[in-house]
Chains A and B, each alone.
Chain A
Amino acid sequence: MNIVGISACTVGIAHTYIAQEKIEAAAKKAGDNVKIETQGTIGIENALTDEDIAQADIVILAVDVKISGEERFAGKKVIKVSTQTAIKSPNKLIEKLHELGRQ
C-alpha cells in the first residue's frame, strides 16, 4: 500500500519526529511505501509532493494541533489519530490502515 501522512505535535520538536519514525518503521516492516511530512516548530520538512498524494491509497494524520495543507487530501481516505497513538502502537495502527484501506 502507498501510505502518506503528516505528523505534528504541540511543541513541535520531539513527538512530531518520533511519530514520523515510528509510522515509517512500522509501515516499511509491513511492506508499504510510506512518506510522512513533519510540521514541527521549524516548519514543514519532508514535504509531500502532489505526486506522492496522488499515488497514496490512504492518508494518516498523527496530529495534536491544527495543521496546514489538509485540503490537499480532498477525496482521499484520511485517518486522524493523536501523536500518542502513533508512538505507542505504530504496528497496530498500520494494521488498522490496511483494514480500512481494503474497505
Chain B
Amino acid sequence: MNIKEIWKAANPKGHLLTAISFLIPIVCGAGFIIAIGMALGGTAQNALVPGNFDLWQALATMGGKALGLLPVVIACGISGSIAGKPGIAPGFVVGLAANSISAGFIGGMIGGYLSGYIALAIIKNVKVPSWARGLMPTLIVPFFASISSGLIMIYIIGTPIGIFTDGLTSFLRSMSTSSNLIVGAIIGALCIVDFGGPINKTCFAFVLTLQAQGVNEPITALQLVNTATPIGFGFAYFVGKLLRKNIYNDKEVETLKSAVPMGIVNIVEGSIPIVMNDIIRGIAAAAIGGAAGGAVTMVYGADATVPFGGVLMLPTMSHPMAGIMALLVNIFVTGVVYAVIKKNVSCEVIEDDEEEEDINLDDIKIN
C-alpha cells in the first residue's frame, strides 16, 4: 500500500468529523448556558460553595466547566471512532492528561488519535488464551492503551503541543490591523462556503482551539457569520422586492421563516435548502458577506467569551457594538449581493433537473 492508500484507510478526517459530531451538541448546550449566565452578570467560578452564588453564576460555571472539558470530549470521540467502544476509556484518560499538561484542544485531538490507534492495535494484535478473554476488555485494552497514550502525552508530546499553541496564540495576538482583516475575511469566507459542512467544522475546531487559549475574536467571527448568513438571506427577500425582483419561490419563503429564527440562535443549517437551489450564487453571496463580517469582527475586536449562542454572544463581548456592527455588515452584504446576482424567479415551485457533476470514482468505496 502506498501512503495515499494508508491515509485513506486510516481516514483521520472521518474520525475528526465523528468526534466533532459528538462535540457540537455539548458546545451548543453548554454555550447557551454560559452565554445566558454571563449575559446576566454571572462569572464562571472555580467551585460552587452552597450559599455563595446566584443562579447566573451557577449557569456560567456549569457552562464553563463543560466547555473546559472539550479536549476530553474530542479525544473520546476520535478514539471511540477509531477503535469503537474500547477506544472511549483510553480517549477519556488521554484527554484529561492533555488538559492537565495544558496541551489543550490540539492535545486532545492528537491524544485521541494516539489512544484510538493504540487500542485498535492491541485489539488486533494481542491474542490471549480463552481463559483470559475476559481480561481483554477489562484490563488489557483499557489499562495498556490508557497508560501508554497518557504517558506519551504527559512526557513526550504534551509540552511541545502546549508551546506550539502558546506560540500560535501570541502570534495571533500581535497581529496588525491589516492581517486581522485578512484572517477575519478568510475565517468568515471559509466557515460559510459549505454551510455547516466539513470545511466549516474543521474551521470551527481550529478557532475553538484558539478560544481555549484566550483568543476570542476568531471564533466570534465564525459564529457571527453563521448567525448573520441566514438572516442575510431573509434580508435579501426585501432587497429583492426593492429591486422589483422576486428571488424566492413560495417554498423558499416558507423555509426562510424557520431559517431566520434559527440563524438568530447561531444555527446556519436552516438556510441550506435555499442555497441548494442555487449553489453558486448562494455560496458567493454568503462567502462575500461572511468575509466582510469576519473582517469587521477581527478589526474591531468583537471578542465573545463563549463559543456559541448567536445574538446571545453579544453581551459577553467587551465591545458589543463591534459584534453588532459585524452582524449588520454581514447581513447587509449577503442580502444585497444575493438579491442583485440572483435571477428573477416565479413564485411557483419548479422541479428542474440541473446538470449533475460526474462522480469521482475515488469518492466511492465499495465492499
Contact = CB atoms under 8 A, between A and B. Distances in A.
A96 B364 contact: yes
Q: How large is the interface on A (under 10, 10 to 19, 20 to 34, 35 or more residues)?
A: 20 to 34
B17 A65 contact: yes
B309 to A, nearest CB: 16
Interface string B343-367: 0000000000100111100011111
B356 A91 contact: yes
Given A41-B25, A80-B365, A14 B272 contact: yes
B81 interface: yes
Contacts of B196: 10-11, 14-15
Given A80-B365, A84-B197, A89-B357, A64 B276 contact: no
Given A11-B21, A89-B357, A93-B359, A65 B366 contact: no
Nearest to A74: B367
A88 B356 contact: yes
Interface residues of B, number: 30
Contacts of B197: 9-10, 15, 84
Interface string B13-47: 01101101100110000000000000000000000
A56 B269 CA distance: 32
A92 B20 contact: no
A89 B358 contact: yes
B272 A89 contact: no
A65 B272 contact: no
Given A10-B197, A80-B364, A65 B18 contact: yes
Contacts of A14: 195-196, 269-270, 272
B201 A11 contact: yes
Nearest to A60: B364
A9 B273 CA distance: 15
A14 B359 CA distance: 22
B201 to A, nearest CB: 5
A70 to B, nearest CB: 10
B283 to A, nearest CB: 13
Given A80-B365, A82-B363, A15 B14 contact: no
Given A14-B269, A92-B359, A41 B21 contact: yes
Nearest to B364: A81
Most chain B beta carbons < 10 A, residue from A11, A80, A88, A96? A11
Nearest to B270: A14
A64 B198 contact: yes
A65 B14 contact: yes
A90 B356 contact: yes
A41 B359 contact: no
B366 A79 contact: yes
Interface in A59-94: 64-66, 77-82, 84-85, 87-93
A30 interface: no
A44 interface: no
B81 A13 contact: no
Interface core residue of A64, A65, A90 (most chain B CB under 10 Å): A65
A100 interface: yes
14 contacts: A9-B21, A10-B21, A10-B24, A11-B24, A18-B272, A18-B276, A64-B198, A77-B367, A80-B366, A88-B357, A89-B359, A92-B356, A92-B357, A96-B359
Interface of B: 14-15, 17-18, 20-21, 24-25, 81, 195-198, 201, 267, 269-270, 272-273, 276, 353, 356-359, 363-367
Given A11-B196, A80-B365, 20 more contacts: A10-B17, A10-B20, A10-B24, A10-B196, A14-B272, A15-B272, A18-B272, A66-B18, A77-B367, A78-B367, A79-B366, A80-B364, A81-B364, A81-B365, A85-B363, A89-B357, A90-B356, A92-B356, A92-B357, A96-B364
